[in-house]
Structure 1
Amino acid sequence: MLVEKIHHVAYRCRDAKETVEFYRDILDMELVGAIAEDKVPSTKAPDPYMHIFLDAGAGNILAFFELPNSPPQGRDPNTPEWVQHIAFQVGDVAALETVKAKAEAAGVDVVGPTDHDIFKSIYFFDPSGHRLELAAWTTTPETLARLKAVAPAMIEEWAVTKKPPRHAAWLHEKEFSAS
């Protein structure tokens, strides 16, 4: 594979300072850089921006752009709000509970923990309306290997039928037992 890892993922934010404070205070992410220009480097278009970079752990960078001269950001009205989200991995379910308590203390509405059988997660929105998920693995390497083994067949069946394939139904039906 040529790709080594994701360098950074960038989203728009409504306010750079508010965004830094939210990610610092709720998720303990450190601001590791900021770039501001009057023109877009790649296109040279005049469009002042603030580009911030946050340490999301393990060499992962989460970035945001504040664009004060652009219309307010919106969402794709044809995509449900639960679909587009940023998911962060945490060490364990105790970490989920810690973040949930911290977020709720800051007035953030949190959904979960939700049990996905292979991981548990919580969901909430950042100040710019981006849906966030924090996930903690709760499964075994054997279960993940079994899921990986059926994934290609599931994609092929989905491509033809556009109906949920049942190759991994055992996961939610609790019929699988690791032996």
Structure 2
Amino acid sequence: MALHPNGVHHLAISTTDIKQQIEFFTDVLGGTLKALYWMHGVDGTFHGFVELSPSCYVAFVQHPGNTDRNELGVTHAGNAGGPLPGGTMQHVALNVDSLDELLALRDRIRDRGVVALGPIDHGMCQSLYFAGPEGLCLEIATGGNI
């Protein structure tokens, strides 16, 4: 049987500041903290989940050995079009149902002092781009004519 997912349950993102990540994803983006606990079987490591919708979560893992050394083009793209080595995450794009919802989120993000670019019309979708804590490149998109 082949894999046929109905979505991505969660993305797990490494962090050196789980508090900052949770505050950004709850205050700026409006998510809800659903779980925060010691990661099972990994000494000194926190694991937290923020619910973005009933079937979409972002998770953060703060390990005591995590480094805060971000290198553009090596560990982080720096923007949604920046180069990175193969196998690394370029950016995270989250989907919303409508342009009105995208615009409302743009206003919410900007009202909290975060620079947001867009919406940009790509033809197949419209996107909003902004940076999260620790150099995380984020996108919110609507439309799915891929």
TM-score (norm 1): 0.65
Q: 1:120 to 1:67 in 2, by over 3 A?
A: same
Higher RCO structure, 1 or 2 (CA under 8 Å, sep 6+) = 2
Contact 1:115 1:121 in 2 (8 A): yes
Alpha-carbon distance between aligned partners in 1 of 2:57 and 2:12, rounded to the nearest angstrom: 9
1:127 and 2:136 equivalent? no
Contact 2:70 2:134 in 1 (8 A): no
Alignment partner for residue 13 of structure 1, among 9, 12, 15? 15
For residues 3-152 of structure 1, the aligned pairs below 5 Å read 3-4=4-5, 5-37=7-39, 40=42, 46=43, 48-75=44-71, 77-78=73-74, 80-81=77-78, 82-83=80-81, 84-137=90-143, 144=145
Higher helix share: 1
Contact 2:93 2:141 in 1 (8 A): yes
The 3-state SS of whatever aligns with 2:58 is strand
- Identity within the alignment, %: 27
1:99 positional shift? 1.2
The 3-state SS of whatever aligns with 1:95 is helix
How many aligned positions are there?
Answer: 134
2:109 counterpart letter in structure 1: A
Q: Any unmatched runs of 5+ in structure 2?
A: 82-89
1:77 positional shift? 2.5
Contact 1:87 1:134 in 2 (8 A): yes
